[in-house]
Amino acid sequence: MPAPQQGPIGKRIARNVAELRAARGLSLREMSERMGKLGRPTLSTGIMKIEDGTRRVDVDDLVALALALDVTPNRLLLPPEAGTDKGVDLTPAVTAPTEDAAWRWAVGEYALFPLDAPTPAADVVKFMAANRPHASTNLSVLEQEIAAHLKDLKPVARAARAAEQAGVPFRVLLDYLRLTDALNSTDDN
């Protein structure tokens, strides 16, 4: 039987599964055992076929593989890094403009379309509300929270724009804000 035609995501999943399994020092047999414990029995030969691209991965496989490798499904779907200006093929006809854009879209922070026109703020908020239910459950609540803190948020927005203009990548800025408490760097020293 001929190998199924893989699209860009299928090829990337195959590569990512192989690289992550190897990085964790897991044999095919150990990976197969993990999949079985997760309720998605997959023979060692099945894992090998996934890695060489001759077996397609359905969404149930994807989630089980991610759990077995201790990553998110997005980590299997996308490139292992972000931060370059390389485009990311999502389908044979759709390419995210950069790795950052692909990752930001995948985690619900960024709407890819329309790529050629600015997205109104309301559309961005709707996209985020629909794709980040853990962060905000209700669009009107999010809008109210922003409005209630707008005076205090404006200097943060100005500082963020200044940092981006100074060359600080947006993802670094977000990570810094998320990790300031953990890094004990909330003071200006």
Q: Which stretches of the chain drop beneath a pLDDT of 70?
A: 1-4, 114-122, 136-140, 142, 181-189
- Distance CA(19)–CA(90), nearest Å, equals 20
Q: Give the per-residue pLDDT at 182.
A: 62
- Please, are residues 76 and 62 in contact by the beta-carbon 8 Å criterion? yes
Q: What is the pLDDT of residues 25-76, one digit of tens each?
A: 999 999 999 999 999 999 999 999 999 999 999 999 999 999 999 999 999 9
- Distance CA(14)–CA(65), nearest Å, equals 11
Q: Give the per-residue pLDDT at 130.
A: 79
Q: Give the per-residue pLDDT at 172.
A: 79
- Distance CA(149)–CA(59), nearest Å, equals 40
Domains of the chain, first to last? 8-77 (1.10.260.40), 92-183 (no CATH)
Q: Give the per-residue pLDDT at 157.
A: 84
